[in-house]
Chain A
Amino acid sequence: MNSNKTSDATDTTRRSFLKTSAMAMTYMVGGKALLLTPAAAHAAQMPMKVLSALEVTTLETLCEAIVPGSRSAGIAAFVDYQLAEKPHNALLMGRYLGLEPPFAPFYQQGLAAAHQAALTQFDRPWSQLTESQIKSLVDQMFTDAIANWSAAPASFLFFVWRADACDVVYGTQSGSETIGMPYMAHIAPSDKWLSAKELQK
């Protein structure tokens, strides 16, 4: 039961490239465990564990409007996966913002309120709104201007979802490098994720 551990300082070389990733998510497909990035999980349309189809399209649509690129970067797959994790393993920034586990009700109540706002104002779900209608709702969320909002304050949800979307778009090695910031990892995210194509084979 007791263990005498020694530091593995010497095992970890300067800038060694281990096959690990912050964002790797494990899916079971045909009895096999697949490691996927959120983007690959999105492309492969991996089944969600917590969010419903409506919640997924609501989250994707509003996040895409807040942080362009977040839909294909796998925002829904990322959030869904983290909501299914044990709270102390969850990698959502909401952990820093005073959210108490379980985190799913916070997200789901927020998505339900956003859906309701779309119905009230435009009589259709987020996925069927025009660009200007989406922008209008997102602006209203940012300023807490939506009447009868029945979840955590809309501006707080906006902040959290924007942060999640920034994680998947800018918090990756390629996202950082795309905006011109060298990533310089010690233990780098692997680029060996199964791509959607490989999955479909």
Chain B
Amino acid sequence: MESISLQDKFDVLIVGAGAAGSLIAAKAVQGGKSVLILEAGPERKLGDLESSQISARKLKWGGAPVEESGNHKIGNSFNSGYGTGGSALHHYAVWLRLHENDFNLATEQGVGLDWPINYKDLMPYYDRIQAEAGISGDAKAEKWRPQGAAYPMPALPVFAQGQVIAKGFNKLGMAVSPLPLAINSQPFKGRSSCLYDGWCDAGCPIGALANPLVTYLPQAFAGGASIRHNSTVSRVLHDASGRKATGVEYFDADGAVHQVLAEQVVLSAFAVQNARILLNSKSTKHPAGMANSSDKVGRYLMTHPAQLVLGLFDQQTDCHLGATGGQLLCQDDYANKDKGEAFGSYQWLIANATKPNDLLGIATGRADIYGAALDPFMRKAAKHFGQMNFVGEDIPLEDNRITLSERSDQFGLPLAATHHSINERTRALVTEGVNKGVEVFKAAGATETWTGPTVAMHLMGGTVMGADAKESVCDQYGRCHDLDNLYIAGPGLFPSSGAVNPTFTVHALALRTVEKMLAAS
């Protein structure tokens, strides 16, 4: 294989052009740094984001296959993106804060891990991010919301589907609030407001949704950052001492190997690939893989167990309207984690905009309806369908992990092998939650109710942060304990999952990281 040494040198080298990498790139150039982003996937532009659930599949992970095992596989291909903007390009923009009780699981609950920081450390960063990227919501109506500045935009409207399902929650004495979304309810910083057409899963091409193509990447490029697409990073390089990362090695689309040097290196290639790169960066100084003296790289892989509750209603629901992420939120079962047999917080994302086909579409959940019965069902459901998503907490378990497979990819690099199982208490949490959800649907007047399978939603862990270098990979700023200038960004840092969608927290942590990097250099 041809090896080219480019002799390139940058102040900051960022691996992955997704949510975390984009933010760090923007802030680093604004801090006067030269920045290069290496992105494994292809270039994507807003104009590529066709409104179709079928073409949306192009945006999914297209790199080396990821092996999956366990009783609750991580669903990497659905849960990861590829190319400019990463997964965040077509994420649904449900932006929620972790709660105060999410940070000290081990100390307070005797389960899992503690974060090395608390909510109050993160709060100012949440506030700054929401002011920069824009969130629509109603902070007062979210009675469960931890402290923080009110949202910069009013909530998005609630359509018929949301109104119909809300009645069920109300009848059972449960509260709902508008769902906070990083989607514009009004024009925001030159970006359009939402049209409520439910195409978020295919990527929002009008800039209403805070994806990296309209938030931090334009800022990064305006400040002079460069990006190389189709560039798959294979390993991190280090100096003779082993304490300093000197750059990375990557493969271009033709399989040629390149090296780029940098003063500071950031791995923001999402939970699975970050761990894979570290494990693949073995050397005499780092025999178990880079930053892995603790043997914690790859461990505590997490994903939110999620399950849909679906149904038909007499009322017209207009389920095609709204955002894919949903219209309403209920976190009534968040505060109390120790539920006896069951463990964890959970929340409901209510009234997701729905299309006829695809994994989350109307047809898919009812494989039992086929032949002559299918078309009448589809016609009825197009008008009367409703759904909501149970999102539960995952307990961080050491044996849920990413390792290197025996099998290799096209570049000869070992594949990532992932193992993820949920334990009895998490299984009980899902059962308890979903049973409650079915009750809600019945109370709302559903004429027919069914549930989906328990699936994996969001990927977290694998490079967790912690106060103790023997028990974690990174410190509270995402800097690897074992190296002075190698940083990790993204949800891989989370020592516990909470039960809220992770990307608002990813941004808040990345902002802390880049400010630390700028201060350190």
- Partner-B contacts on A (CB < 8 A): 1-9, 11-15, 18, 20-23, 65-69, 87-93, 95-96, 98, 100-101, 135, 138, 142, 158-159, 162-163, 166-167, 170-171, 175-176, 179-189
Judge if B375 is at the interface, Cβ distance under 8 Å: yes
CB neighbours of A186 from chain B (8 A): 49, 51, 195, 197, 199, 204-206
Contact A185 B375, CB 8 Å, known A12-B46, A166-B364: no
24 chain-A/chain-B pairs, Cβ below 8 angstroms: A3-B43, A4-B221, A5-B43, A9-B206, A12-B46, A12-B206, A15-B195, A20-B50, A22-B50, A23-B54, A68-B374, A88-B62, A88-B82, A89-B62, A98-B75, A163-B357, A170-B357, A170-B378, A171-B358, A171-B361, A181-B355, A186-B199, A186-B205, A187-B47
B140: CB under 8 A from chain A? no
A-side contacts of B60, CB under 8 Å = 95-96
| Pair A188/B46 contact, Cβ less than 8 Å | no
The answer for the CA separation of A80 and B226 in the assembled complex, in Å, is: 39
Partner of A68, one of B207, B371, B382: B371
Cβ-closest 3 pairs across A and B? A88-B62, A22-B52, A22-B55
Name the distance in Å between B212's Cβ and chain A's nearest Cβ: 9
Q: A158-B367, A181-B382 are in contact. Are A7 and B213 (CB under 8 A)?
A: yes
How many angstroms between the C-alpha atoms of A9 and B382 in the bound complex? 31
Asked if A138 and B217 sit within 8 Å, CB to CB, the answer is: no
CB contacts (< 8 Å) of A167 on chain B: these are 53-54, 357-358
Q: Would you call B58 and A89 a contact (CB within 8 A)? A: yes
Contact with A98, one of B68, B190, B358, B370 (Cβ below 8 angstroms): B68
A96: shortest Cβ distance to chain B, in Å? 4
Q: Given the complex, which residues of A lie within 8 Å of B364, measured CB to CB?
A: 93, 163, 166
- A2→B227 contact, CB < 8 A: yes
Chain A residues with CB under 8 Å of B358's CB are 93, 163, 167, 171
Which single member of A2, A20, A96, A183 contacts B57 (CB below 8 Å)? A96
Tell me which residues across on chain B come within 8 A of A87, comparing CB atoms. Answer: 62
Docked complex Cα distance between A175 and B54 (Å): 13
A31 to chain B, nearest CB (A): 27
A105 to chain B, nearest CB (A): 14
For the complex, give the distance between the alpha carbons of A189 and B51 in Å.
8
Specify the chain A residue showing the minimal Cβ separation from B223.
A4
Is B512 in contact with chain A by the CB < 8 A criterion?
no
Question: Contact at A179–B375, with CB atoms within 8 Å?
Answer: yes
* B363 at the binding interface (Cβ < 8 Å): yes
Among the listed B49, B52, B68, B355, which residue makes an inter-chain contact with A189, where contact means beta carbons less than 8 Å apart?
B52
Q: Is B286 an interface residue (CB 8 A)?
A: no
Q: Is B73 an interface residue (CB 8 A)?
A: yes
Q: How far is the CA of A44 from the CA of B55 in the complex (A)?
A: 23
CB of A5 within 8 A of CB of B52, answer no
Chain B CB within 10 Å, residue with most, of A4, A7, A92: A7
Is the beta-carbon distance between B205 and A187 smaller than 8 angstroms?
yes
* A12 near B371: Cβ-Cβ < 8 Å: no
Main secondary structure of the interface of A (DSSP, over half): loop
Interfacial chain A residues near B357, Cβ < 8 Å:
163, 166-167, 170-171
Tell me if B224 is interfacial: C-beta within 8 Å of chain A. Answer: yes
Q: Is the CB of B374 within 8 A of A171?
A: no
B367 touches A8 (CB 8 A): no
B158 vs chain A, min Cβ distance (A) = 18
Contact yes or no, B82 A2, CB < 8 A: no
* Least distance between B74 CB and chain A CB atoms (Å): 10
A161 to B51, CA, bound (A): 23
User: Would you call A171 and B47 a contact (CB within 8 A)?
Assistant: no
* Residues of chain A contacted by B118 (CB below 8 angstroms): none
Q: In the bound complex, do residue B218 and residue A9 qualify as a contact, i.e. CB atoms below 8 Å apart? A: yes
Q: Smallest distance from the beta carbon of A174 to chain B beta carbons, Å?
A: 12
What is the CA–CA distance of A80 and B2 in the complex, to the nearest angstrom? Answer: 35
CA distance A92 to B227 in the complex (A): 29
A-side contacts of B222, CB under 8 Å: 6
Cα separation A114 to B217 with both chains bound (whole Å): 49
B371 and A96: CB pair below 8 A? no
> In the assembly, what is the distance between CA of A21 and CA of B50, in Å?
7
Q: Report the bound CA distance from A183 to B207 in whole Å.
A: 19
Q: Is B228 an interface residue (CB 8 A)?
A: yes
B226 near A4: Cβ-Cβ < 8 Å:
yes
The verdict on B90 contacting chain A, using a C-beta distance below 8 Å, is no
Q: Give the nearest-CB partner of B84 in chain A.
A: A5
Tell me if B356 is interfacial: C-beta within 8 Å of chain A.
yes
Q: Does B78 contact A (CB under 8 A)?
A: yes
For residue A24, give the distance in angstroms from its CB to the closest CB of chain B.
Answer: 9
Q: How far is the CB of A37 from chain B (nearest CB, A)?
A: 11
CA distance A5 to B83 in the complex (A): 14
B339 interface residue (CB < 8 Å to A): no
Nearest A residue to B231 by beta-carbon distance?
A1
In this complex, what residue of B is CB-closest to A23? B54
The answer for the CA separation of A21 and B53 in the assembled complex, in Å, is: 11
Q: Which of B55, B58, B205, B368 has the most CB of A within 10 A?
A: B205
Q: Does the CB pair A7–B218 fall under 8 Å? A: yes
| B470: Cβ under 8 A from any A Cβ | no
Which of the residues B46, B58, B65 comes within 8 Å of A7, measured between beta carbons?
A: B46
